[in-house]
Structure 1
């Protein structure tokens, strides 16, 4: 699946084998927007990529659109596999297991439009290290017609496992992983599928940060992020959106998500740093302790969200006993504030 870039590898590049990027696109009933996204992939300034589409049983023209696009690309560059038909997160995890080893990996949503330099900007960061590295970026939030509305929020607090344990802020639709980080995700995916985690990008941030990966959230936008009625995750920058996420912390769902993620991390063969392994072990106390003790444990562990208000809401939810796993139904959503 390797392409021919015609571009010499920079001397500083340490990525495995090449700077080929395997794009993983989860599709379902995507005919309304998919063609526009595929066109943006073809327009990338970094040309060494291939695409695997996991389709979850679409009954519209999704498959035909992919086939038509594949016919415009070099042979073998675009492939389609059958998705597990269990929601977007399970589809992405299945794609991870299907991805080849030794290449960088990028998640791709069917209804976005990538900016031309998305992959190039990611590789500027990823090629700097041999250890696992995870790139994400801001987005330009748009309406359903791709009219820009605003930029997504910029995160200013440090990235790391103390943040990743309680918040997703490395958006999956912008995330690109170097080969070393991609191998971590591939190894951890079976445990995540078994636990039916609710958010592949939150889990990916936990895996990479837990293993001590280099992390970067680019202030430059990477793509146009389309908001429409079937969006898996809505915008997070409005007062209404932030209030909704604060409510989620107290609704009981969040505790269920935390418990599933925690077990998936414990079951995965991931070389966590000793410090982060200790945090993971001690975080279990937060999930079973009475409210006041759970809140104190959050403080002792130094866990935080990217805003002061978010951290206060987290501690408040712990005090109220809402971080213990509940019996809520599965949802394909997560906390992205």
Structure 2
């Protein structure tokens, strides 16, 4: 009996008819498995009690035009039917989809980054358990990074892009996560990224040169896995922004980290000033960890910059604000920066 097409397969077919590919046909992949001498992409999926949306996410990966990838799923101790859902795919695609179950719960940051350390590949992509990847996501991302590598060989490179924000049933809430959030995607230098992360992990692709900058033991004190990758890329290589939606970014009550509008962002922070002050100090702590690990590899200018940011909590009232303005430790937009000046 012929298997009925999945919901995601039908959705992606309809999506392509409404939103045609942004790149010309001659630049798109053929959709067949590539020869062994081509580069391989490792998709690192972190899962925790994700049974509700796993089928849709995995189906969307398999529906991508680029087929030269392997999917490594790292289960962080799920207690629902996630393992059974995943096994149905590993049984069907034993050389493409691999299941790993953590002995103890690591949390999302360590689960993603430790997953990278366990897998050898030329390129790496983070994958959440509840989104839907658009058909050209992998192809467009790896093509852009390869072009950058041709210009800058052996340099750590990270790419990130945009996403369509949808609800739990994939109805569009906003056509652009970046526009909704108001992030300045061109402010990708170390100073700006010390203060604010712009890179959505589920849109990212980075190369082996960047992955090899990770330490064998992932440190504590990191704000998020994608932010850590962004800092490494900014300090030692390049960051590329791909200005197109790469996935459907699902928002629901179970998100670990989700999107929010600028108005919601500001309202939430005004209501919780003490908590936001602690978040800012945790961000400075992340810089301290970064300096400790990469001190010998940073330039003298970079060392001073990271050190000044890490030391903001211990500086006096005037000095904190002076350093933020002097060295451009800034967020995106006037209101966010006024908020920083209020709570620092």
Q: Is the Cα contact below 8 Å between 1:195 and 1:263 reproduced in 2?
A: no
Equivalence for 1:214: 238
Pairwise CA distance, 1:21: 1.0
Distance apart, 1:283 and its partner CA: 1.7
Equivalent residue number for residue 6 of structure 1: 34
Distance 1:133-1:241 versus aligned 2 partners, 3 A rule:
same
Q: Once the two structures are superposed, what CA deviation does each residue of 1:132-161 show, in whole Å capped at 9, x if it has no partner? A: 111111111111111111021243542121
- Go from structure 1 to structure 2 and tell me whether the alpha carbon gap of 1:306 and 1:95 turns closer, same or farther (over 3 Å shift): same
Q: Deviations over 1:281-319 (max 9, x none)?
A: 22233131122211111122122212222222222222x
TM-score (norm 1): 0.82
> Distance in 2 between the 1:249 and 1:20 partners?
45
Q: Deviations over 1:150-179 (max 9, x none)?
A: 021243542121111000110111111011
Q: Deviations over 1:106-134 (max 9, x none)?
A: 11000011011111111122112221111
> For structure 1, which segment, 235-244 or 219-228, has the greater mean C-alpha deviation from structure 2 after superposition?
235-244
Task: From the two aligned structures, give the one with the greater helix fraction.
Answer: 2
Asked if the contact 2:185–2:241 (Cα under 8 Å) also holds between the matched residues in 1, the reply is no
Q: Quick one: which of 318, 325, 328 aligns to 1:299?
A: 325
From 259, 262, 266, the counterpart of 1:235: 259
Does residue 272 of the first structure (1) align with residue 301 of the second (2)? no
**Cα distance in structure 1, aligned partners of 2:272 and 2:188:** 22
CA contact (8 A) 1:157 1:306 kept: no
**For 2:72, what is the secondary structure of its paired residue?**
strand
Return the alpha-carbon distance in structure 2 between the equivalents of residues 246 and 306 of structure 1: 17
Choose 1 or 2 for highest CA Rg: 2
Question: How many angstroms apart in 1 are the aligned matches of 2:280 and 2:243?
Answer: 30
Structure 1 residues 269, 38: CA separation in 2 closer, same or farther (over 3 Å shift)? same
Any unmatched runs of 5+ in structure 2? 1-31
Of stretches 105-114 and 306-315 in structure 1, the one that deviates more from structure 2 is 306-315
Report if aligned partners of 1:113, 1:223 keep a CA contact under 8 Å in 2: yes
Residues 238/287 of structure 1: CA separation in 2 closer, same or farther (3 Å cut):
closer
Considering only aligned residues, what root-mean-square deviation do their CA atoms show, in Å? 2.2
Secondary structure of 2:286's partner? helix
Q: In the alignment, which residue of structure 2 is the partner of 1:21?
A: 41
CA deviation after TM superposition for structure 1 residue 236, in Å = 2.4
Note the C-alpha offset of 1:248.
5.7
Answering whether residue 230 of structure 2 is matched by residue 205 of structure 1, we say yes
Cα displacement (A) at 1:210: 1.7
CA distance in 1, matches of 2:289, 2:271: 25
Answer yes or no: is 1:69 the counterpart of 2:95. no
Q: Which residue of 2 aligns with 1:94?
A: 114
**Deviation of the 1:245 alpha carbon:** 4.4
What secondary structure sits across from 1:258 in the alignment?
Answer: helix
CA distance in 2, matches of 1:169, 1:115: 20
In the alignment, is the contact (CA less than 8 A) between 1:138 and 1:153 conserved in 2?
Answer: yes
Q: Do residues 118 (structure 1) and 143 (structure 2) align? A: no
What SS is found at the alignment partner of 1:177?
strand
State how many pairs are aligned: 300
Structure 1 residue 231: Cα displacement: 0.4
Q: CA deviation at 1:229?
A: 0.8
TM-score by length of 2: 0.80
Counterpart in the other structure of 1:329 = none
Distance 1:247 1:218 in 2: 34
Map of 1:38-187 to 2, 5 A cutoff?
38-73=58-93, 75-83=94-102, 84-100=104-120, 102-128=121-147, 129=149, 130=153, 131-150=155-174, 151-154=176-179, 155-184=184-213, 186-187=214-215
Segments of structure 1 that go 5 or more residues without pairing to the other structure are 9-16, 319-337
1:35 equivalent among 55, 60, 64: 55
